[in-house]
Structure 1
Amino acid sequence: MNYISRALEDRLYKYEKTYKSILVTGARQVGKSTLLKKAFPDRRYVSLDDPFLEQQAREAGDMFLTLNAPPVTIDEVQRAKELFRYIKIKCDESEEKGLFFLSGSQPFHLMQNVSESLSGRIGIIELSGLSMRECMRDAFNSHFLPTMEYVIERKKTLKKRENIWEIIHLGGYPELQDADKEWNAFYADYVKTYMERDVRELAAVQDLTAFRQFIIAAAARTGEILNFSAIASEIGKDVKTVKNWISILEASGIVYLLEPYTSNVLKRAIKSPKLYFRDTGLVCYLTRWLTPETLAYGAMSGPVFETFAVSEILKSFSNEGLDYRHFVSYYRGRDKKKTTEDGKLQELESEIDLIIEENGVLYPIEIKKNTQAKAITTAAFDVLDQIPGKRRGMGAILCNCPQVGALRENILQIPVWYI
């Protein structure tokens, strides 16, 4: 399989000249090791997946770094947290940049060790699965905004995927870009490895059968407001256990919790986060939608399409080196909004699937799998006009429409492949 260039490569090259250490983190199998090997082929590479090297790094960190002197890349570094103190010493002893490249698949534990040992000495990069742009070999690397300025720039390099459901169903793990790789087998191995290694390391989960039922129940709720009680009832566990297991999925990069927009003005807003899986292929495997065709016409098509769009937007921020957590939120109110279409009164939920905030401007986005967008679905966008000190910018419906168009003066329809 040919290597697919990653959008973060340029940032890696800049960080090499800026920081003494660089940490590349992200979920298992998103391509961290491959990225570092391809971007820096001449660096010494060691992996703590080797039990001997792991033991040496944990029990004799100083000797380990003497035998593996910088510049060096250390993979699966979370396996030896004891090593961080010695990396700090080496960094303090030298003025050179790019001494240590570190990577690992447990962001939560890694970040704890980094904040304790290497604060101010390390540049941190989060690598996601392949974005749609990367899969299409599209070098465009600006974060998504629903504006005409963005659309005009995006169109210059845009490459449309003929069947968007194929890329949604396949998922973003680099290994699956090999046409000879069997989809079912990959995800079966992924889930087995994830539960047997990462889950046991992140928390003392003994009942892996129950955890498997939990992750399937969670996948079936992607795109929904997180309801711990409903999941607990389905799998026969208490709410405390479900909350702990959700934190495991979040810490290992399997899911993302989209927080609600907070404002004192929006008193009736729901405060719970929305649950999104990071990879739509994994969702399809867990919920048994085994082909793109059955997915496109199945009951999960809407939530999976929304999950895909949100995931691609998050990647557009992180691939530009921006922390998407500071930019995105959602809104759902407890009140229903009455609106008229074609002379008929309709009652709609006050909901905005995604809000992007930038420079004091709020950009509301609805996400629909349909090929035709309707402006009526954006009725809730008006709620953002109530927020003092903020301005509502251009809104959009992301959908499967054939081209960009104006639904109203301040609302666009944008094909999902424009992300």
Structure 2
Amino acid sequence: MYIHRHLEAMLATASKMFGAVLVTGPRQVGKTTLVRRFASTSNYVTLDDPMQLHAAVEQPATFFKDNKPPVFVDEIQYAPNLFPYIKMKVDEENAKGLFYLSGSQQFKLMKNVGESLAGRLGILNLLGLSMREYQQLKFNDAFLPTEKYFVGRRKELKPLSYDELWRVIHRGSMPDLLLNDDFDWQIFYASYVKTYIERDVRELTQVGDEVKFITFMIAVASITGQLLNISSLAKNVGISVSTAERWLSILVTSNIVYLLRPYANNVLKRSVKTPKLYFLDTGLAAYLTKWTTADVLKNGAMAGAFFETFVVAEIIKSYYNKGIAEPPLYFYRDKEQKEIDLLIECNGVLYPLEMKKHADPKAADIKAFAVLDDIPGVQRGSGGVICTYHQLVTLKDNDKVIPISYI
């Protein structure tokens, strides 16, 4: 069963703008399926094939004579030496949509892309299935808590039951797992972690101690939705701070983890400088932290953190799927412990949001929004509390109770 991906529209746009288009994202989120379906008339070669990889690495000058453009090269990160030849071909033919590329990692890839294909390459990010895609909705606007957005979203709305929501949070967003109830969750993620370590981490970054790297991943998953304390992480795992920083950068640039930046401007002296950390797939985070069923997770100590993580990941997907590589997302926290879970900046306006897993938000939940009114030069827009209540209603002034189905 093929689920239409919302990134298809941006892939079509980028292929008309650039000589080459790169789709990056974690393993098994559907990059190959998406690009092969879109570029169905192009040649296809995967560098997972040892013979093709050997040809790409050892004979790059002739590789594209055997695989003539338009061509889709899958797992391009294994042969970054192809980028200069892609550049030459794009410049030589001066045409669009010649090369379609995909890669599971960015940490080795991006340096070579930057050097070789600046201005010639469109880069798109694909994450796991969004809730909208899972429900097979066509609505594809980036999330923003405005009346205009809600009017559009209301036209295509499929509420999730509370139990189904937690099934999705626990199961995760990997298409194969989410769409196949008979796939074993434990086996899937055990295999996923093993493949990730063996292919992406070991081969590309030479992590020496794989057992400790997995321990590090578990420690990182246990703080999803929290402020990052790299020193504490390093101490808990038994590694140096510099190693923890390097390993975290691997998780971030391979789209396993997202670091939400604190909002800051020139007049804010009291705000914290530390980012908040979120796993981009709640199923993987649940596997690593040993929440073995949806029921155990939704009633457990980390339920609030997982709900917040899920919401943030869904909002990030809504921006990525519109081709916005750097979503304008922040959080606010100052030294007086005043905190706003999420700020979306659009046209100079800040839209504040809280995330609560319960269904009965109160005006007290948005009390911290008032801190934005005291920041010179900042305009506060409408906001609200994203929660499990079933109806979009006004909470106070322009701030609303926002059902999670409206994301």
Same fold (TM over 0.5): yes
Aligned to 1:341: none
CA distance in 1, matches of 2:75, 2:99: 13
Match of 1:211 among 194, 210, 213: 213
Paired residues, what number?
Answer: 404
For the Cα contact (< 8 Å) 2:124–2:325, is it kept in 1? Answer: no
Aligned to 2:123: 124
Residues 13-24 of structure 1 mapped to structure 2, 5 A cutoff: 13-24=12-23
Residues 288-327 of structure 1 mapped to structure 2, 5 A cutoff: 288-325=290-327, 327=328
Unaligned runs of 5+ in 1: 336-348
One-letter code of the match for 1:329? Y
One-letter code of the match for 1:175? D
Match of 2:286 among 280, 284, 287: 284
Unaligned runs of 5+ in 2: none
One-letter code of the match for 1:3? Y
For the Cα contact (< 8 Å) 1:263–1:387, is it kept in 2? Answer: no
Q: Deviations over 1:88-139 (max 9, x none)?
A: 1111110222111011011232221111001111111111111000000011
CA distance in 1, matches of 2:6, 2:402: 23
Superposition deviation, residue 200 in structure 1: 1.2
Aligned to 1:262: 264
Q: Deviations over 1:252-272 (max 9, x none)?
A: 110000010012332111110
CA distance in 2, matches of 1:26, 1:387: 36
Superposition deviation, residue 180 in structure 1: 2.5
CA distance in 2, matches of 1:24, 1:9: 11
CA distance in 1, matches of 2:326, 2:115: 23
For the Cα contact (< 8 Å) 2:263–2:331, is it kept in 1? Answer: yes
Match of 1:378 among 349, 359, 366: 366
Is the counterpart of residue 104 in structure 1 residue 103 in structure 2?
yes
Match of 1:355 among 328, 343, 346: 343
Q: Deviations over 1:183-236 (max 9, x none)?
A: 111100000111112111332211111111110011000000000121122111
For the Cα contact (< 8 Å) 2:10–2:323, is it kept in 1? Answer: yes
Change (3 A) 1:193 1:46: same
CA distance in 1, matches of 2:120, 2:325: 19
Superposition deviation, residue 161 in structure 1: 1.5
Aligned to 2:395: 407
What is the TM-score of this pair, normalised by structure 1? 0.94
Superposition deviation, residue 395 in structure 1: 1.6
CA distance in 2, matches of 1:147, 1:18: 31
For the Cα contact (< 8 Å) 2:261–2:331, is it kept in 1? Answer: yes
For the Cα contact (< 8 Å) 2:53–2:79, is it kept in 1? Answer: yes
1:45 match: secondary structure:
strand
One-letter code of the match for 2:385? I
2:110 match: secondary structure:
helix
Residues 31-50 of structure 1 mapped to structure 2, 5 A cutoff: 31-50=30-49
Aligned to 2:406: 418
Aligned to 1:397: 385
